[in-house]
Structure 1
């Protein structure tokens, strides 16, 4: 039996140890340089203050110009290529831009529009048009699907920023600095096996990652078993050592004993990140559409954008973007400034609010499950299921402000909602499968554990030291595998 353990570990290791070495190394890079993205704060920081002069047409004609047949999923007023635009998104990830002055629907974005968007992003840097792409190294994210094709513009700024402009709306939807692009070649791009994308096998890319991770997990478990079997606790080997190996084999053996368990958890949790076989997909997800309380129509917003901007300005709030929002059938205009702060204008009484009353959000949430039990609480501090991460992390761009309202439903999946008190937005939906994923992926893979996250650089030391152990373990395995194949 032992012989088969050795053979399985050896030949599985020859197949996947190189991938493990790449995963451990690129994982360290990802701790500090994430895959390029345009965060909400970056987006707002590069927008001008919305002007009251010659702005804007009412919402009703703007929606009629966008698509009179469909109810929108979201409505924003922003500045695109130096001009005010209504940006109307519809279910199915399609977004339409309407000129907020003329009321005309904007067409396909071309070269001149892309360059104008780049000038808005940075008016001090020269820009060079780099053509149109459907997808490239830095735009594999499915979140960009509604914006394809993408126009590329290279800025001559200090960061060597490459901009991606939506071919549908003209908005800048991604920025990638030279540092991000350089490090990501050995970071996230490598970690997620993105070199396998775009070569004709995109349809099976997910399964390739899943089964490589599964194979690596099995190989690591077998290695841990063999490592314990070969280590002599009582009687040393003839050489006086408790390990029978020398050279790289000894490094591999001792490295496995020291770091093997953590290596197993990292590879296994990486497998869990892919949601293999839909393990973390709910069989009966709770439909949160009723939270809005009706269709997003102009009738729910009697106060015009121009009047709203004037009221925000009177409060000393310089809005850079407006967002129309329905909560339990009640209309609100949410304004965002360049620092990521927000204010709300109630359509009911015209009052400007810093945050929403708890009872308003509870009323809207109860409509999600009218006949069910609902419990709510306001969180003033982060906990295991609601916490913030640094911007470069995979989900670090998501705003996790405090306080936040947590709503628990007594549905079959025991669903929780996290609702932002400042905007009314549902910022997280956690049912039972997603809470299991929180344990098996986020905790085990990136050690999202508050006692560590709140005590940096302790978290950094933990991640880097054990990643280095994983690199030693996997690189020594690569060397041993090469020697076996060679001789």
Structure 2
């Protein structure tokens, strides 16, 4: 009976892998091919450098309101999460982000709340972009393929403006605040249909419903994960390394079946870890901690919660395109940025340079977690396994403050602006190895010698593609007959 049960289970193992694999191999092939595209073309976004480069210089002579006046005009009851001064075309404005994500724009010239930006104002914003040649309004949209995620919700609807440059750049300008929310170019738009969109199963019709999209991807990747496990199991059962088949081969198969079997044995573990880490990227069951710093922690770091910062107008700074108003450990600061992305911290009341020494930053950091102590402070001057810039820009040098709380939390703090630029705890460090390392091969040794990373990922992707495409061919033949 035991032998018969074993034979029956093995038979159903083969049948299940064969028929479920017909569909899932299409997903495997899609993921491996699109993953290679994603190595070189990211999903469209707007970096701080791009945003600052598109802003005109602040016309300080038009600024009639102080930050305090602007917060009063906005009826703020607490100091906002973010408060900055910049230009809306030819008018200086204060832009505020509340702790609940709500955004407001207040004219720094007359204190009125800016709402319902006109088409001409949106085009005026676009004309200041460096790529602008002959900007034209394409349409007013609520969301499209590139602006589908919830991060743009406080800025909708959006003016979609073509700049008329050779790169086919398009800007998304908020009709609520006049901010540039996003830019895309023709290369990004074309290649992402072969990269991020199929890889993340990201068509706008599905992605606009975040919970549904997450559920669909979890189920698809979960089923594919099971198929990869059964494939490795069958591959091991059917291979003969010592007592070979009559033909002298280690596999009983020929043609596409042999390719599928042998490449599956070679690359199976990588297919499995890629599938597992991809499934894990959605944080099933919310097992891993979030990456964001909570409002309570940020407020302790600021040391101030009332909607005030200075009783006078901000000190004019030549060549500044933006001025941010922040609190650091109870001290008000104005951080001015130029169009090339260089940021300079100033004392908000005197306008003099603010010296952000390690001792000062350490004193502010000590208040981040009131029930824990800082065990170590490091100035990182080179990237390491937990602070690196493979897929996005990260500042160097950076201060790492390490705490003795239960989660062993680390905060990364900019020594230039004092901003908290990153937070990781033991849960996120585990996630770094289980997702970033397994899925993106973000190993420090490979990243130090970038061509090595490309070669390794290309080779493994080719093997995974062979496994997948051979499975598609085999499945097609089964369906035909």
> C-alpha distance in 1, partners of 2:67/2:47?
27
Q: How far is 1:103 from its partner?
A: 2.0
The question of 1:304 aligning with 2:317 is answered no
Quickly say closer, same or farther: Cα 1:407–1:46, change in 2 above 3 A.
same
**Higher deviation after alignment, 235-244 or 155-164:** 235-244
Cα separation, 2, equivalents of 1:384 and 1:38: 26
Give the 5 Å matches for 1:118-133: 118-122=126-130, 124-133=132-141
Match of 1:294 among 288, 291, 304: 304
Give 1:336's aligned residue.
337
Equivalences for 1:109-120 in 2 at 5 Å?
109-120=117-128
CA distance in 2, matches of 1:304, 1:434: 42
Deviates more, 1:199-208 or 1:320-329: 199-208
Cα shift at 1:384: 0.9
In 2, distance between residues paired with 1:135 and 1:304? 38
State the 1:421 CA deviation: 0.9
Q: Does 1:485 align with 2:479?
A: yes
Asked if 1:372 is matched to 2:363, the reply is no
Residue 275 of structure 1: CA displacement? Answer: 0.8
Q: 2:441 aligns with which of 432, 447, 450?
A: 447
Cα offset, 1:54, TM superposition: 2.7
**Is 2:272 aligned against 1:264?**
yes
Q: Map of 1:307-456 to 2, 5 A cutoff?
A: 307=315, 309-310=316-317, 313=318, 318-347=319-348, 350-353=351-354, 356-375=356-375, 376-389=377-390, 393=391, 396=392, 399-456=393-450
Q: Determine helix, strand or coil for the equivalent of 1:197.
A: helix
Residues 333-364 of structure 1: per-residue CA shift (max 9 Å, x gap): 111122222111024764314x6111221121
Distance 2:256 2:228 in 1: 17
SS in structure 1 of the partner of residue 55 of structure 2 = coil
Structure 2 distance, partners of 1:466, 1:59, is 54
Establish whether residue 247 from structure 1 lines up as the match of residue 243 from structure 2. Answer: no
Aligned-partner Cα distance in 1 for 2:292–2:132: 52
Indicate which of 65, 74, 80 corresponds to 1:57. Answer: 65
Instruction: Sort the Cα spacing of 1:320 and 1:135 in 2 relative to 1 into closer, same or farther, 3 A.
Output: same
Match of 2:163 among 144, 155, 177: 155
Displacement of 1:406 in angstroms is 1.0
Hey, what does 1:23 align to over in structure 2? 31
**Does structure 1 conserve the Cα–Cα contact (< 8 Å) formed by 2:221 and 2:275?**
yes
Aligned to 1:167: 175
Q: Say which of 209, 213, 224 aligns to 1:216.
A: 224
The question of whether the paired residues in 1 share the 8 Å contact of 2:79 and 2:305 is answered with yes
Task: Identify unmatched segments of 5+ residues in structure 1.
Answer: none
Q: Is the 8 A contact 2:301 2:367 kept in 1?
A: yes
Choose the corresponding residue for 2:461, options 467, 471, 484: 467
Q: Secondary structure at the match of 2:182?
A: strand
Aligned CA-pair RMSD: 2.2
SS of equivalent to 1:92: coil
For 1:25 and 1:283, the matched residues in 2 are separated by 29
Once residues 153 and 125 of structure 2 are traced to their aligned partners in structure 1, the CA distance between those partners, rounded to angstroms, is 19
- Secondary structure of 2:62's counterpart equals coil
Per the normalisation by structure 2, the TM-score is 0.92
User: Could you say if the C-alpha distance between residues 189 and 284 of structure 1 is closer, same or farther in structure 2, counting changes exceeding 3 Å?
Assistant: closer
Worse-superposed segment, 364-373 or 451-460: 364-373
| Secondary structure, counterpart of 1:301 in structure 2 | coil
Determine the structure 2 residue equivalent to 1:102. Answer: 110
Q: TM (normalized to structure 1)?
A: 0.91
Q: Could you say if the C-alpha distance between residues 178 and 202 of structure 1 is closer, same or farther in structure 2, counting changes exceeding 3 Å?
A: same
> Residue 283 of structure 2 aligns with which residue?
275
Moved more, 29-38 or 111-120: 111-120
Tell me if the contact between 2:333 and 2:348 (Cα under 8 Å) persists in the aligned partners: yes
Offset of residue 69 of structure 1: 3.7
CA change 1:200–1:445 in 2 (3 A) is: closer
Q: Give the number of equivalent residue pairs.
A: 470
DSSP 3-state at the match of 2:335: strand
| Gaps in structure 2 of 5+ consecutive residues | 1-8
Instruction: Tell me the SS of whatever aligns to 2:450.
Output: coil
Contact 1:330 1:348 in 2 (8 A): no
Measured at CA, do residues 4 and 182 of structure 1 come closer, stay the same or move farther in structure 2, by a change above 3 Å?
same
